[in-house]
Amino acid sequence: MNAIFVLSSAYMPLGIKKVSVFTITLSSMVVWVGFYTWRIMFNNFAIEIFGASPIDVGIIQAAREIPGLLAFGAGALALYFTESKIAAFSIVAVGLGLILCGLSQSIMMLGLATVLMSFGFHYFEPTNSSQLLMLSQSDNLGRTQGRLRSYESIAGLTGAGLVLGLTLFLDFRVTFYMIGAAVAAIGLYLAIALPSNRAATEKRKVRIKKKYRLYYTLSFLRGCRRHIFTTFAIFLLVKNHNLDITIIATISLANNAVTIFTNRLMGRLSDHLGEKVILVGCSFLLAFIFVGYAYVSYLPLLIALYLIDNILFGSSIALKSYLRKISNAEDLTGCLSFGMTANHITAIVIPIIGGMAWSLFGYQATFIAGAAIVLIDMLFALKIPGKVRLDLENKALEQHTVGG
């Protein structure tokens, strides 16, 4: 069935009978409001309240990625619990993590709160994505994901707007409390309302197969490059250019306003041109963005490069489409969770090494290393077939519905 994102079904029903594109979209939007709240506020909160150094930020960012390294646990949980339940309780964890960020009295406590938030986020992503992909047809995988990513951008826009508005009148801590409580409450409602039973024909398995190795390799390399940029790009703008929370929130607003439209475009291009063209092309362009962050000092151009990077991050749509076409229904959640783990294998060390390289050799070394990783990623993306088609053994996914 075609996944039609109509948030106007027109209201949230008091009793949800089944997982639908509506509940998947709602869940994703709530998580991304919470995540963007943390993402926008973290650097300013850590620097202004605790006087965090590049090494401090690197350590916390490394700790934040530990749940991603353990994301294979989401696949294991799916053997016993439905994806909808795992996703709902993950939303609760994101909300509680935000509340604890506001309660933090030391940089260590802020790091622990961040880890809790991160557990929620990293266990939510593979389970929610699995539900969406199993509700999608093979010929519109990109468009379906693009629409969801578009709504996630709206959620990011909402989160940035909330941070921008609330911090004009309230301090960082109260802002964490208010948004965190709202996220946790919605997650708890979904945990109670969504069905807990899975149809007898719906099985889940956790296993690593040879045919998925290219997906895992690309997930690993994309994780390496992503952790460098997400950890240090905004930090560079705050540390080297003294941008305050209002400007950072405004940049995030602009970013999400743009990706509302570009994510849909990326999804359509993935369906039309094929996954290989999207992944190779985006990696090629990202190499120039990393080099730009290493050598450009003109602030408006740096902000433009940051926005372009976030647009190109939508290429993950193509990678998930590729996995969906080569995977079996029973493997999908496990593959996505193992892919998340592969994405985070170096996540614990890269922020720390990047912070040390920044301190010892300057920020240029950190971003040049990122450019090299992007080029390696591009070489592996070239191994993807020109136009991936759904295997005959996976045709059952076409009629597959999510029982919860």
Token pair 């607003």 in the structure block, residue: 253
How far lies 278's CA from each of 11, 269, 342, in Å? 36, 7, 21
* More confident call, 64 vs 203: 64
How far is it, in rounded angstroms, from Cα 113 to Cα 94?
A: 10
What's the distance, CA 11 to chain centroid? Answer: 27
Residue ranges of domains in the chain, CATH in brackets: 21-195+205-394 (1.20.1250.20)
Summarize pLDDT for 214-234 with one digit per residue, the tens. 989 998 988 888 878 877 888
Within 10 A of 107 (CB to CB), how many other CB atoms are there?
17
What integer pLDDT is reported at residue 103 of this predicted model?
Answer: 92
User: Any idea which residue has 């296993």 for tokens?
Assistant: 207
Give this prediction's pTM.
0.76
Of 155-164, 174-183, 380-389, which one has max mean pLDDT? 174-183
Q: Give the C-alpha separation, 305 to 27, whole Å.
A: 30
How does DSSP classify residue 394? Answer: G
Give the C-alpha separation, 389 to 255, whole Å: 33
Distance in angstroms (rounded) separating the CA atoms of residues 47 and 44: 5
Q: Enumerate residues 6+ apart whose C-beta is below 8 A from 296.
A: 302, 305
Token code pair at residue 222: 């994309």
Residue with tokens 């994405």: 343
